[in-house]
Structure 1
């Protein structure tokens, strides 16, 4: 591996870790970098998933304070997300790539818009007495697990859009739970690809360390943003991800 290639992959891993900690969608930075470095598409895809996994650890660790008192919530949601992620791994093996990928831009855009209108929607539903959506919440988390294991770009936006509507709490605390769920879902995908995928481990060695640092740094940045600013950043980035994928 040449020095320019090392520099490219390290920079991409760092940037992807930061973006994933704040909003999700870091794969749109790291995956093209792997392609630019000359890796085949399939190898680049599985290598990217494995390499960015440490960044999700950094993101979750960066939200330790906001996770205080949320153990029960995080565990319950994580169990649902594991089931969804396992289903996503199976789906990846048995369905054509184009079927699910065609829906991805729409799904991310919907999740972004859901997050944008989340305060208004929560007030409307609460006022009408219809916000009793535990089953809907777990269904959404399950779907997030399926999506995250199968494709993953914009997973953070999708999860935060779902959690933001149904979980009554400060957005920063909700984002902390989102960071945990992103870690759980990507851990399942990491294990599947590490065991069965054509992973390029030398590229992982470079990107993994950088993504861990980026994840921790991104969480620290996100924690300093007000809820309104954080929501605006995530919605803007999520819609950008949707447009980028639609044009791909």
Structure 2
């Protein structure tokens, strides 16, 4: 298979030196990544902001940005397992819906991984803050959007997935496979705005569907990108523990303050990324 010039320039040179200075993870770095994994798993399963903790921790451990990005995606598998196990109560009766949306997210995740391996990262980074801000605003305006979506769904027929939601899931899957920061905020906003179900159920479906997009991207990176497996393992173990607790906390917290808090955290991240890119 012919590799793109970006892949040869950015990925292949770091396969033999994945950390700056070719140094391995020491005990303190491993512990720091595991702790960051707990925070990432907890925040990811509750608010969809796992990368807010895991990606900076990988950079602090000495990984170059491209290696940190792909390693972060692989490590999120631990968070997916923990959050799905912790959300068994909310996922009852959601199998068919989750499989349908998961298939769309998987297709999007595969496309996102292909884009990362074949295009400059700057091509997408410029719009990331605006996407996160959009998802946050949708969460804040959930009620009027949900009422509108409910009227359209009733006209379309019960049990059918609205076409706009299908398109949104596919695009969010692309984003998750490519970069992924706050992809959970975008997905939770799309699910919450299209259904009258409790936010805890939307969050559980979000965790499972987003996990599908991350998994297919992680499989691609495992074979085609310079994953730092020691760092990924440390993050994944912490993420498994943190994400197992997230759904338990989510179902006990009041819905409206939680939704507003997630939206405000997403807006703060959007502003941070916008300032960093300026």
Q: TM-score, normalised by structure 1?
A: 0.94
Query: CA shift at 1:140, angstroms?
Result: 0.4
What is the aligned partner in structure 2 of residue 13 from structure 1? 37
CA deviation string 1:106-132 (max 9, x = no partner) = 001001101110112222454688975
Partner of residue 72 from structure 1, selected from 96, 103, 113: 96
Q: Is the 8 A contact 1:58 1:215 kept in 2?
A: yes
The count of residues paired between Structure 1 and Structure 2 equals 248
Matched, 1:241 2:269: yes
Q: Distance in 2 between matches of 1:245 and 1:166?
A: 27
* Cα distance change of structure 1 residues 129 and 241 upon mapping to structure 2, 3 Å threshold: same
Matched, 1:184 2:212: yes
What is the aligned partner in structure 2 of residue 49 from structure 1? 73
Q: Distance in 1 between matches of 2:274 and 2:145?
A: 27
What is the aligned partner in structure 1 of residue 55 from structure 2? 31
CA deviation string 1:200-226 (max 9, x = no partner) = 111122221111001111221112112
Q: Distance in 2 between matches of 1:82 and 1:112?
A: 23
**Unaligned ranges ≥5, structure 1:** none
Q: Distance in 1 between matches of 2:81 and 2:187?
A: 17
Q: Distance in 2 between matches of 1:240 and 1:86?
A: 29
Q: Is the 8 A contact 1:52 1:211 kept in 2?
A: yes
What is the aligned partner in structure 2 of residue 118 from structure 1? 142
Q: Is the 8 A contact 1:25 1:152 kept in 2?
A: no
Larger radius of gyration: 2
What is the aligned partner in structure 1 of residue 82 from structure 2? 58
What is the aligned partner in structure 1 of residue 112 from structure 2? 88
More moved, 46-55 vs 121-130: 121-130
Q: Is the 8 A contact 2:113 2:221 kept in 1?
A: no
Q: Distance in 1 between matches of 2:216 and 2:230?
A: 21
What is the aligned partner in structure 1 of residue 64 from structure 2? 40
Q: Distance in 1 between matches of 2:166 and 2:187?
A: 11
Which segments of structure 1 move beyond 6 Å, counting only runs of 4 or more?
Answer: 128-131
Q: Is the 8 A contact 1:125 1:131 kept in 2?
A: no
User: Does the residue aligned with 2:180 lie in a helix, a strand or coil?
Assistant: coil
CA deviation string 1:133-186 (max 9, x = no partner) = 711110000011001000101011100111112123121111111111111111
Aligned-residue Cα RMSD (Å) equals 1.8
Query: CA shift at 1:93, angstroms?
Result: 2.3
Q: Is the 8 A contact 2:149 2:193 kept in 1?
A: no
Q: Is the 8 A contact 1:131 1:166 kept in 2?
A: no
CA deviation string 1:18-60 (max 9, x = no partner) = 1110111211211111111112222222111112221111111
What is the aligned partner in structure 2 of residue 154 from structure 1? 182
